[in-house]
Amino acid sequence: MFDTRLKDAASQVQAHLDRVLGELDDLPVVQAMHYASAGGKRLRAFLVLESARLHGIAPDQAIWAATAVEALHAYSLVHDDLPCMDDDDLRRGLPTVHVKWDQATAVLAGDALQTLAFELLARVEASNDPAVRAELVLTLARASGAAGMVKGQALDIAAETAATPLTLEQITELQAGKTGALIEWSACAGAVLAGADTSALSIYAQKLGLAFQIWDDVLDVEGDAETVGKAVGKDADAGKATFVSLLGLEAAKTRAETLVKEACSALDCYGDEAETLRQAARFVISRHS
């Protein structure tokens, strides 16, 4: 069920991105936006669509918020891959935007993908209720700006030149910003769209987001580059603190498993209706890429 829903989310988001990017002039920067926002697991879009379903929001409405968060996620990847940031040549097994085009195009495509995310949320199709549209914009801005995702990224860059490796507390704060905030926004979006309480989904997503990042660190040690779709062993080689280096491999896996159980329990109030979201949590610590 989860597999099917995740695939459905991916194809719906791709079709919607094709539509909204198709409204723009066919410039290289728009082609780069299209390229950068294609592919990926679409976990964030899935979380939006699934939490929307849980609250009785129609998929053709929720798709706007789902596409917005994927556009925002894509912007962060394009900029993270830049030579002055993580300097990655490969993303999802394909050349990164600055390799395929150039750095200027990568900066601009990332910039415009961020703008697109807010445009999609502010369009009337995202919700008939303007208060909901404004709330979606406000919460996404807080999740992705200097108090959220950018903060996590900045802490990550600072850690590379720090005299001592990060502590567990610091790396948890870093990841809560870098990955957690967008995952939480996605899982809560359905409740926001319905004007419902977000607290259960919020706890679910915080646990899920942390488990997700711990598992990324596990894959960096255990995975192979071809399956993971990007360079592995990079963090360990760079002497960076990771959940695995701080906890040890087995304890990191156990921690991720506990977090997933807690994430699933947080959804008790939704009963069986939330089973696909629970499956998503279990998927996070079983994935190979």
Residue 84 near a second copy by CB under 8 A: yes
Residue 110 near a second copy by CB under 8 A: yes
Residue 89 near a second copy by CB under 8 A: no
Residue 198 near a second copy by CB under 8 A: no
- Is the separation of the CB atoms in 98 and 106 below 8 Å? yes
Residue 22 near a second copy by CB under 8 A: no
C-alpha to C-alpha distance for 205 and 208, rounded to whole angstroms: 5
3-state secondary structure of 289: coil
Judged by beta carbon, residue 116 or residue 263, the one nearer a second copy is 116
C-alpha to C-alpha distance for 79 and 103, rounded to whole angstroms: 9
Judged by beta carbon, residue 36 or residue 281, the one nearer a second copy is 36
The site for a second copy, by CB under 8 A, has a size of 51
Q: How far is the CB of 126 from a second copy (least distance, A)?
A: 9
Residue 158 near a second copy by CB under 8 A: yes
Judged by CB under 8 A, the chain residues 127 through 156 that form the site for a second copy are 129-131, 133-135, 137-138, 141-142, 144-147, 150-151, 153-155
Find the binder of a second copy among 15, 27, 162, 238 (CB under 8 A).
Answer: 27
- Identify the residue whose tokens are 């409204």: 23
Find the binder of a second copy among 102, 197, 224, 237 (CB under 8 A).
Answer: 102
Phi first, then psi, for residue 94 (nearest 5°) are: -125, 160
3-state secondary structure of 27: coil
Residue 123 near a second copy by CB under 8 A: yes
Query: Which of 42, 39, 17, 157 is closest to 91 using CA atoms?
Result: 39
Find the binder of a second copy among 90, 94, 99, 107 (CB under 8 A).
Answer: 107
Instruction: Point out which residues pair with 94 in neighbouring strands.
Output: 91
3-state secondary structure of 94: strand
What Å distances lie between residue 265 and 32, 70, 201, CA to CA?
A: 41, 27, 11
Query: Which of 73, 93, 83 is closest to 33 using CA atoms?
Result: 73
Residue 239: alpha-carbon gap to chain centroid: 25
Residue 105 near a second copy by CB under 8 A: yes
In the complex, the residues that contact a second copy under the rule CB under 8 A are 23-25, 27-30, 33, 75, 79, 82, 84-85, 102-105, 107-108, 110-112, 114-116, 118-119, 121-123, 129-131, 133-135, 137-138, 141-142, 144-147, 150-151, 153-155, 157-158
